Amino acid sequence: MSAHHADDGLPAPVSTLAEDPPADGRQALPSGVVVGEDGRARPPWAARDPLLREYYDTEWGLPVTDERGLFERLVLEAFQSGLSWRTVLAKRPRFREVFAGFDADAVAAFGDAEVEALLADSGIIRNRRKIEAAIANARAVVGMRGERFTPLHPGSPGAGPAWHGDGDRPATGLPGLVWAHQPAATPRPETVAQVPSTSDESRALARALKAHGCRFVGPTTCFALMEAAGVVDTHLLGSWRRGASGIWE
């Protein structure tokens, strides 16, 4: 999730929690964070809604290095295009059910019958282009498993001992491709307005994913994926979660 605009020509979200004022008398500090009743500082988008707060506190920005986890985030970030992340997150349990736990082999085998069943399922976002893109992306993920990727910035910090794969970062398949685009340095935003929505690396990742057959993978969607998976750290400097990935300070 990111306070970003949509990719692929779709409209930007009608409203973004990051732009909403804090509720319940809580005050936004000069650094841009909001201190909640628990005394923890968070960005405005994660300060109010319990579902978003839990996601921010326990998942967002932690290193994801396995194929299934990254495929899930790739698909869900694509479904977010033109919508709010809150909408997608609320439907995530059903997404996991109907997309076979985001097992790429299973989704790659989906055909017309599965597409029609998904379009009839009110528990997910019923968009034919996005559903078909998820299937195409699964096939692309399966196809790249044996491919090895060289990091754009070999001196970037990696993720220490938490990796699945060779050395200090994944080297093959979707994990290898995503983490090959880790930047040499991460943003250090003090306010939501300072958080970028794209980067040179996210543009390169979008090109690489498209070259492998992926769809709905514009630079903004790719940057949001990189944020969610810990490839970059865009936690505000005043947030209690800044540096939680163990990769970036």
The secondary structure of 18-86 as a DSSP string is GGSPP-TT--B-TTS-EE-TTS-EE-GGGTS-HHHHHHHHHTTTS---SHHHHHHHHHHHHHHTTS-HH
Segment 2-7 shows an average pLDDT of: 45
Residue 186 confidence (pLDDT): 95
Residue 155 has pLDDT above 90, yes or no: no
Q: What percent of the chain has pLDDT over 70?
A: 84
Give the chain's radius of gyration (CA, Å): 18
Q: Quick one: how far is CA 172 from the chain centroid?
A: 19
Q: Which amino acid is residue 161, in one-letter code?
A: P
Tokens for 68? 């299934």
Residue 12 confidence (pLDDT): 32
Residue 160 confidence (pLDDT): 60
Catalytic residues: 55, 77, 85
Residue 132 has pLDDT above 80, yes or no: yes
Give the DSSP letter string of 95-130: HHHHTGGG-HHHHHT--HHHHHHHHT-TTS---HHH
Residue 2 confidence (pLDDT): 53
Residue 246 confidence (pLDDT): 86
Residue 1 confidence (pLDDT): 57
Q: What percent of the chain has pLDDT over 90?
A: 77
Most distant pair of Cα atoms in the chain: their distance: 53
Q: What is the pTM of this model?
A: 0.86
CA distance 153 to 65: 17
Tokens for 72? 């899930």
Residue 156 confidence (pLDDT): 82
Place 180 in a pLDDT band, splitting at 50, 70 and 90.
Answer: very high
CA torsion 99-208-218-104 (nearest 10°) is 0
Residue 163 has pLDDT above 80, yes or no: no
